[in-house]
């Protein structure tokens, strides 16, 4: 799944945003956020927003918005 998402990010045009999170399991979401943080450190993308699940007692992210730079 991460490979598919990385391909989508790589194919994204500069300045375009991608919303990720729908249908992604919690453990996969943690891996996705780590991937996005690595890509941000490399200067490939910018993390615009990480949405937290307000209904959960734990701080669990349920979606992330990234922008290709």
- List pLDDT tens digits, range 7-44: 999 999 999 999 998 888 888 999 999 999 999 999 99
Output the pTM of the full model.
0.84
Q: How many residues does the chain have?
A: 69
How far, in Å, CA of 48 to CA of 3, rounded?
21
Q: What is the pLDDT of residue 22?
A: 82
pLDDT higher than 70, residue 51: yes
Distance, in Å, from the CA atom of 27 to the CA atom of 11, rounded to the nearest integer, reads: 25
- Is the pLDDT assigned to residue 62 strictly greater than 90? no
CATH number at residue 24: 3.30.110
Domain boundaries, position 28: 2-68
Q: Quick one: pLDDT band at residue 54, thresholds 50, 70, 90? A: low
As for how many domains the chain has, the answer is 1
Q: What is the dihedral of CA 17, 4, 35, 59, to 10 degrees?
A: 80
- Per DSSP, the three-state class of 62 is strand
């Amino acid at each position: 799944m991460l490979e598919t998402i990385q391909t989508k990010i790589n194919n994204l045009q500069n300045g375009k945003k991608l919303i990720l999170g729908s249908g992604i399991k919690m453990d996969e979401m943690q891996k996705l956020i780590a991937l996005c943080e690595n890509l941000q450190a490399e200067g490939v993308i910018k993390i615009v927003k990480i949405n937290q699940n307000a209904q959960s007692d734990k701080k669990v992210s349920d979606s992330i918005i990234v922008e290709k730079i």
